[in-house]
Amino acid sequence: MKTYDVLVIGAGPGGYVAAIRCAQLGLRTGCVDQWLDPAGKPSLGGTCLNVGCIPSKALLDSSHHFHNLAHLLPAHGISVKDPKIDIGAMLARKDRVVKTLTGGIAGLFKKNKVEWIQGSGSLQSHGKVAVSGHDGKTETLGAGHLIIATGSVPIEIPAAPLDRDAIVDSEGALAFREVPKRLGVIGAGVIGLELGSVWGRLGSEVVLLEALPEFLAPVDRQIAKEALEILQKQGLDIRLGALVTNARKSGNAVQVHYMDTAADEKHELEVDKLIVCVGRRAYTDGLNLAAAGVKTDERGRIEVDDRCRTSAEGIFAIGDVVKGPMLAHKASEEGIAVAELIAGQSAHIDHGNVPWVIYTHPEIAWVGKTEAELTADGIPHCVGSFPYRALGRAHGAGETTGLVKIIGDQKTDRILGVHIFGASASELIAEAVTAMAFHGSTEDLARTVHAHPTLSEAVHEAALAVDGRAIHF
């Protein structure tokens, strides 16, 4: 039996990063992954690279450029007559981006001497894993330590069964061959807003049906309110308190029935395509966890402690398959920490300091606590905010929508949360994460020199505003 110091199951951003770090630390490492691309070829990178973060951002960028031709560039004196979009070319570009990056991981595996084992892994007792290869052969591998990083898959709901043509999940929505005239989206969460934005910018009439009465419940209320207004202005028809009860294909269209829960009224909607994006569930199918004594929680996630240790000795689990936000960077950080723990180092994951980004335009980004959470926890706090419209650079760029909001502890001034709605929020939030990692105060940010003219000046001014001393607003 072939044996490894560490065997990783799953090569998404959790698993592949863990495998590379293990190998860097001198551990003999194998990584089992079952992903096949549309051509039936094994592909590394998991959900994130193949059908998640990367292809969705490639389409967001393409559609943003197209949208800007009509909506941003004329103000700069640049006009293009009758701009057109070639969907085939846009999808081919997205596929090339995915191929380059998944191929890049294969290169990193080679360089770091991580063995890529192509097939499905299933646990057996005593650190053994049975692998069913794509070639139909099965082999048993041994490992001193196991890291489970099998990720997540979209939740399917009986009210809207997928037919993978007219009714699709996020993966299907990354590959529409033409722009749907009428697009329905169930769930105005992260995926609904990002993919709704992609197709809306390209010309679809987009209706998002969201069961909850609140828009983006985890987001700071002021930011969510401003974002809702702007996204609706962009043409996204976001209907809150809209619980889908039934959706079926009928002829060439999809009939969607939903309840307006506030008015207690039934409604019907006809669309050409329907995306179901109502959350994701931890994926442990076929893993045979019980054989190794690995426990799951009430939501089917693998139970872990704060160091990603499962209930079974020597077996760790990371990423979407365990508790916490389903984010690529959270999975990767857990992967690095676990590799270092296995190598005998001390490692720490600060789960309270993980940034979120929703890649609409403008972007929504945050880290730490919201005002509502702090109020509920009885923590006295101070708030400073600063609008993009008071920034010189924002005017130059034509990006005056949005704000930065910083929340500090009233007693200690330590930064407790930063919330941004605006252009490049995904980049600006990194400064807040770094300041919080160093346990920084709002005064630290206020006394840090920021280049002029930049959008990052909004972070500086919001920090000054915590103490009522913003200069430009």
Q: Which residues bind ligand FAD (CB under 6 A)?
A: 9-15, 32-35, 46-48, 52-53, 56, 120-121, 149-152, 170, 191, 283, 286-287, 319-321, 326-329, 331
Is residue 83 within 8 Å of residue 74, measured between CB atoms?
no
Give me the catalytic one of 134, 351, 452, 472: 452
Query: Do strands 115-123 and 29-33 pair parallel, antiparallel, or not at all (unpaired)?
Result: parallel
Residue 334, binding choice from ligand NAD, ligand FAD, none, Cβ under 5 to 8 Å by partner class: none
Does residue 453 have a cis peptide bond before it, meaning omega lies within 30 degrees of 0?
Answer: yes
Residue 368, binding choice from ligand NAD, ligand FAD, none, Cβ under 5 to 8 Å by partner class: none
Q: What is the closest distance, in whole angstroms, from the C-beta atom of residue 342 to ligand NAD in the complex?
A: 26
Residue 243, binding choice from ligand NAD, ligand FAD, none, Cβ under 5 to 8 Å by partner class: ligand NAD
For the chain, what is the largest distance between any 2 Cα atoms, rounded to a whole number of angstroms?
Answer: 69
Q: Does 280 bind ligand NAD (CB under 6 A)?
A: yes
Q: What is the closest distance, in whole angstroms, from the C-beta atom of residue 150 to ligand FAD in the complex?
A: 3
Q: What is the closest distance, in whole angstroms, from the C-beta atom of residue 319 to ligand NAD in the complex?
A: 11
Quote the tokens at residue 176.
């529409």
DSSP state of 303: P
Instruction: Give the end-to-end CA distance of the chain in Å, rounded to a whole number.
Output: 69
Q: What is the closest distance, in whole angstroms, from the C-beta atom of residue 51 to ligand NAD in the complex?
A: 11
Taking the C-alpha atoms of residue 17 and residue 27, their distance in angstroms, rounded to an integer, is 14
- Tell me which H or E stretch contains 400: none
Cβ nearer to ligand NAD, comparing 316 with 359 = 359
Is-catalytic flag, 452?
A: yes
Is residue 292 within 8 Å of residue 123, measured between CB atoms?
yes
Q: Which of 437, 320, 453 is nearest to 48 (CA)?
A: 320
Taking the C-alpha atoms of residue 421 and residue 363, their distance in angstroms, rounded to an integer, is 6
Q: Identify the residue among 66, 176, 359, 386 touching ligand NAD (CB under 6 A).
A: 359
Residue 91, binding choice from ligand NAD, ligand FAD, none, Cβ under 5 to 8 Å by partner class: none
Q: Identify the residue among 243, 259, 379, 390 touching ligand NAD (CB under 6 A).
A: 243
Taking the C-alpha atoms of residue 414 and residue 241, their distance in angstroms, rounded to an integer, is 37
Q: Identify the residue among 44, 183, 209, 463 touching ligand NAD (CB under 6 A).
A: 209
Quote the tokens at residue 133.
């290869």
C-alpha torsion sign, points 384, 400, 210, 158: negative
Q: What is the closest distance, in whole angstroms, from the C-beta atom of residue 345 to ligand NAD in the complex?
A: 29
Residue 331, binding choice from ligand FAD, ligand NAD, none, Cβ under 5 to 8 Å by partner class: ligand FAD
Q: What is the closest distance, in whole angstroms, from the C-beta atom of residue 318 to ligand NAD in the complex?
A: 15
Residue 150, binding choice from ligand NAD, ligand FAD, none, Cβ under 5 to 8 Å by partner class: ligand FAD
Residue 358, binding choice from ligand NAD, ligand FAD, none, Cβ under 5 to 8 Å by partner class: ligand NAD
Stretch binding ligand NAD (CB under 6 A), from 9-17, 76-84, 277-285, 386-394? 277-285
Sequence-distant (≥ 6) Cβ neighbours of residue 63 within 8 angstroms: 90, 197, 198, 199, 201, 202
Crossing angle of the two packed helices 87-112 and 15-24, in degrees rounded to 10: 30
Q: What is the closest distance, in whole angstroms, from the C-beta atom of residue 24 to ligand FAD in the complex?
A: 18
Concatenated DSSP letters for 53-114?
HHHHHHHHHHHHHHHHHHHTGGGGT---SS----HHHHHHHHHHHHHHHHHHHHHHHHHHT-
Q: Which residues between 156 and 195 bind ligand NAD (CB under 6 A)?
A: 157, 159, 186-192, 194
Cβ nearer to ligand NAD, comparing 215 with 388 = 215
Q: What is the closest distance, in whole angstroms, from the C-beta atom of residue 425 to ligand FAD in the complex?
A: 13
The one-letter code for the residue type at 343 is: A
Cβ nearer to ligand NAD, comparing 127 with 192 = 192
Is residue 42 within 8 Å of residue 54, measured between CB atoms?
no
DSSP state of 301: P
Backbone φ and ψ for 82, nearest 5 degrees, come out as 50, 60
Cβ nearer to ligand FAD, comparing 46 with 362 = 46
Residues that bind ligand NAD (CB under 6 A): 157, 159, 186-192, 194, 209-212, 243-244, 277-280, 325-327, 357-359
Please give the positions annotated as active site: 452
